[in-house]
RNA sequence: GGCCCUAUCGUCUAACGGUUAGGACAUCGCCUUCUCAAGGCGGUAAUCAGGGUUCGAUUCCCUGUAGGGUCACCA
């Protein structure tokens, strides 16, 4: 049966060698999107065939990362399905079974050489500036494979391969791309080259999404499918994600961050999905900010980009901000409260009421939770909780750049008048619009800046702050007047 | 070095062979405003080079250049 007619099955098959970064996650995301788009199956398979490189805890970390962005898999570890188990280390019998078939057909043989001998061959090729091909040293006669030596693939036909890729179109590679690679290592574990093919056939995978670093070895894979007489799946090769600034493929060594760090920094999963989806794909119209549902609806493997894309954290920040704006007020409040309680320890205890009041202030100034930390570090958060202590003396007023144009000596007079006006406002009507209205006529009279600037400074102790009316509303009448009177006291001393 | 892939504003990208080469991020300017931010409006900015094919190439072909990938008992 043709792949096109089958129910779509995709898989994400990471090796448990550490955390997942944006590059890996993009591959996972595209596999997930394509499965969902086609109402197919998305499988998580762990390729743990290299015991040396395995990092404990990786599997849970990978699962947690997928869960965070909501790329829930239909089958995989902790979610047993018809293709269980999903850890390659638990499928060794399967690979032996398939290896036996190849041996029977004469497409696999025991490697008679030691590792040293092979690396000697390789060195020779290097010196001659040639690509190393093991098959040039293929032994005439081979002994039966007893499992202690590596089992090598015997390429059925040495030829040029042409194949179709949904992203790159028609691809081809010459004979030098084919070699007698190792199917099963001397430790009994299969290599990636062999195991992933066996599993993809077994699990009925129809579309393989993976990075372009696998293009070069595709002819090898095609030869294995040929040896089994099987139809290869559809290839969907994803372009690399490049390290920021540089032009190299993004990798952990280039400082690619753990995907869960973005969660910690306060990025929303829907923003991460949106950003990643747009890295190498676009919906064909000019939409940029999209929900997961919209992305799934519009997703199409035929619109995936061929060239590598750089990772731009600024744009991620912008997309995150757009998604933040789309949250309901309650969700925004919850987001801020959660972030503050988890990340900012130095703040005095705060009440839900204060969080409620300052939510719009924070929302105006952030693109992600990390900005809340910045606000706190710059003292733009703490003054909501206590009277700013940085107004030490009258000089503070005088030294401010904005005070230069003010009639400095009259500030206390202005503020005194402001207190008089504010005192007349009823507690219930102490909101920003009303405060602004009541103060406006007086401010117009003597100069808006001359009144509003010292007011803001008295309340926040900062040159830069939200507008003084909002501050007054947040603090409430009593606290507002208290802060202004304190300022007057400082000014007149 | 062999093989393979890629090439549009600084960045992500759009454009059945015919567009003043479009959008977004960033950047710059203006407006709004007591400040900062947000918001609104606007500006600067790109088809790697050279040859073909064609009435006409960002688009198709070739060459060059640049970048990337790959040549493991790693995936």
- In this complex, the residue with its CA at the shortest distance from the C1' of nucleotide B38 is A364
Would you say residue A80 has pLDDT above 60? Answer: yes
CB of A287 nearer than 7 A to strand B: no
Of A101, A240, A296, A126, the closest CA to residue A183 belongs to A101
Q: Which fold has domain A394-492?
A: Arc Repressor Mutant, subunit A (1.10.10)
How many angstroms separate the CA atoms of A462 and A396, rounded? 10
Look at residue A181 in the predicted model and tell me its pLDDT. 97
- % of chain A with per-residue pLDDT over 90: 67
Least confident of A157-166, A274-283, A381-390, A435-444: A381-390
Look at residue A247 in the predicted model and tell me its pLDDT. 67
Q: Which nucleotide is nearest to A114 (CA to C1')?
A: B73
Least confident of A41-45, A252-256, A272-276, A419-423: A252-256
| A303-351 residue pLDDT tens | 999 999 888 999 999 999 999 999 999 999 999 999 988 888 777 666 6
Query: CA A124: distance to chain centroid?
Result: 43
- % of chain A with per-residue pLDDT over 70: 94
Give me the DSSP letters along A265-331.
Answer: TT--HHHHHHHHHTSSB--SSS--S--HHHHHHH--GGGB-SS-EE--HHHHHHHHHHHHHHS-HHH
User: Which among A252, A432, A436, A486 is annotated as catalytic?
Assistant: A252
Q: Which nucleotide is nearest to A194 (CA to C1')?
A: B75
CB of A186 nearer than 7 A to strand B: yes
Please state, in angstroms and as integers, the Cα–Cα distance from residue A443 to each residue in A78, A402, A421, following that order. Answer: 67, 16, 11
Look at residue A399 in the predicted model and tell me its pLDDT. 54
Residue A446 buriedness (CB in 10 A; 0-12 / 13-18 / 19+): middle
CB of A365 nearer than 7 A to strand B: yes
Q: Please, what is the average pLDDT of chain A?
A: 90
**Within 10 Å of residue A469's Cβ, how many Cβ atoms?**
22
Residue A79 is a catalytic residue: no
Q: Which nucleotide is nearest to A165 (CA to C1')?
A: B5
Q: What is the mean pLDDT of residues A171-199?
A: 96
Q: Are A320 and A367 in contact (CB under 8 A)?
A: yes
CB of A111 nearer than 7 A to strand B: yes
Tell me the pTM: 0.93
Contacts of A92 (CB under 8 A, 6+ apart): A188, A189, A190
Residue A193: band (very low, low, confident or very high) from pLDDT cuts 50, 70, 90: very high
Å separating the CA of residue A13 from the C1' of nucleotide B74:
14
Q: What is the mean pLDDT of residues A382-391?
A: 72
Q: What angle do CA A156, A160, A164 make, to 5 degrees?
A: 105
Would you say residue A417 has pLDDT above 60? Answer: yes
Q: Which nucleotide is nearest to A449 (CA to C1')?
A: B34
CB of A218 nearer than 7 A to strand B: no
Look at residue A246 in the predicted model and tell me its pLDDT. 57
Å separating the CA of residue A305 from the C1' of nucleotide B46:
18
Contacts of A5 (CB under 8 A, 6+ apart): none
DSSP run (H or E) holding A41: strand A41-44
Of A7, A85, A3, A94, the closest CA to residue A44 belongs to A85
A298/A344: higher pLDDT:
A298
- Strand A161-165 versus strand A241-242 pairing type: unpaired
HEC string of A150-206 equals: CEEECCCCCCCEEEEECCCEEEEECHHHCCCCEEECCCCCECHHHHHHHHHHHCCCC
Q: What is the mean pLDDT of residues A269-295?
A: 95
Look at residue A4 in the predicted model and tell me its pLDDT. 73
DSSP category for residue A368: S
Class of domain A1-76+239-326: alpha beta
Q: What is the mean pLDDT of residues A50-72?
A: 96
Å separating the CA of residue A282 from the C1' of nucleotide B13:
8
Q: Which nucleotide is nearest to A284 (CA to C1')?
A: B14
Q: What is the mean pLDDT of residues A117-140?
A: 87
Å separating the CA of residue A306 from the C1' of nucleotide B49:
22
Look at residue A306 in the predicted model and tell me its pLDDT. 94
Would you say residue A400 has pLDDT above 70? Answer: no
Least confident of A28-32, A128-132, A264-268: A128-132
- Strand A151-153 versus strand A161-165 pairing type: unpaired
- In this complex, the residue with its CA at the shortest distance from the C1' of nucleotide B35 is A464
Look at residue A130 in the predicted model and tell me its pLDDT. 77
């Amino acid at each position: 049966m043709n792949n096109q007619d089958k129910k779509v099955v995709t898989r994400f098959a990471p090796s448990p060698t550490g955390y997942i970064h944006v590059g890996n996650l993009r591959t996972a995301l595209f596999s997930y999107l394509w499965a969902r788009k086609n109402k197919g199956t998305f499988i998580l398979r762990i390729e743990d065939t290299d015991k040396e490189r395995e990092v404990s805890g990786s599997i849970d970390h990978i699962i947690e990362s997928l869960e965070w962005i909501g790329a829930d898999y239909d089958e995989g570890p902790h979610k047993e399905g018809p293709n269980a188990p999903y850890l390659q280390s638990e499928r060794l019998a399967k690979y032996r079974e398939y290896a036996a078939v190849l041996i029977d057909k004469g497409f696999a043989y025991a490697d008679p050489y030691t590792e040293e001998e092979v690396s000697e061959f390789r060195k020779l090729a290097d010196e001659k500036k040639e690509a190393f091909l093991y098959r040039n040293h293929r032994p005439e006669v081979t002994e039966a494979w007893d499992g202690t030596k590596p089992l090598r693939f015997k390429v059925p036909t040495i030829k040029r391969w042409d194949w179709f890729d949904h992203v790159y179109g028609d691809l081809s590679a010459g004979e030098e791309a084919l070699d007698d690679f190792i199917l099963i290592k001397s430790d009994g574990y299969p290599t990636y080259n062999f195991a992933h093919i066996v599993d993809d056939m077994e699990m009925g995978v129809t579309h393989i999404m993976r990075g372009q670093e696998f293009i070069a070895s595709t002819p090898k894979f095609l030869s294995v499918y040929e040896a089994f007489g099987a139809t290869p799946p559809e290839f969907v090769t994803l372009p690399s994600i490049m390290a920021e600034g540089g032009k190299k493929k993004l990798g952990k060594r280039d400082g690619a961050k753990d995907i869960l760090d973005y969660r910690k920094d306060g990025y929303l999963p829907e923003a991460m999905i949106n950003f990643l989806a747009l890295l190498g794909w676009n919906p064909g119209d000019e939409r940029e900010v999209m929900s997961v549902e919209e992305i799934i609806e519009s997703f199409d493997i035929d619109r995936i980009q061929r060239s590598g894309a750089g990772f731009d954290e600024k744009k991620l920040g912008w997309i995150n901000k757009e998604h933040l704006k789309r949250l309901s007020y309650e969700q925004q409040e919850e987001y801020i409260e959660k972030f503050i309680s988890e990340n900012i320890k130095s703040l005095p205890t705060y009440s839900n009421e204060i969080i409620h009041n300052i939510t719009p202030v924070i929302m105006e100034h952030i693109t992600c939770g990390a900005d809340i930390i910045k606000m706190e570090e710059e003292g733009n958060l703490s003054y909501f909780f206590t009277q700013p202590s940085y107004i030490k003396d009258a000089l503070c007023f005088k030294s401010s750049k904005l005070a230069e144009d003010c009639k400095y000596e009259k500030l206390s007079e202005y503020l005194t008048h402001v207190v008089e006006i504010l005192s007349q406002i009823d507690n219930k009507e102490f909101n920003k619009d009303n405060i602004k209205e009541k103060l406006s006529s007086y401010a117009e009279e003597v100069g808006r800046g001359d009144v509003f600037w010292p007011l803001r400074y008295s309340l926040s102790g900062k040159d830069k702050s939200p507008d003084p009316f909002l501050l007054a509303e947040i603090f409430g009448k009593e606290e507002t007047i208290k802060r202004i009177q304190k300022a007057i006291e400082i000014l007149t001393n």
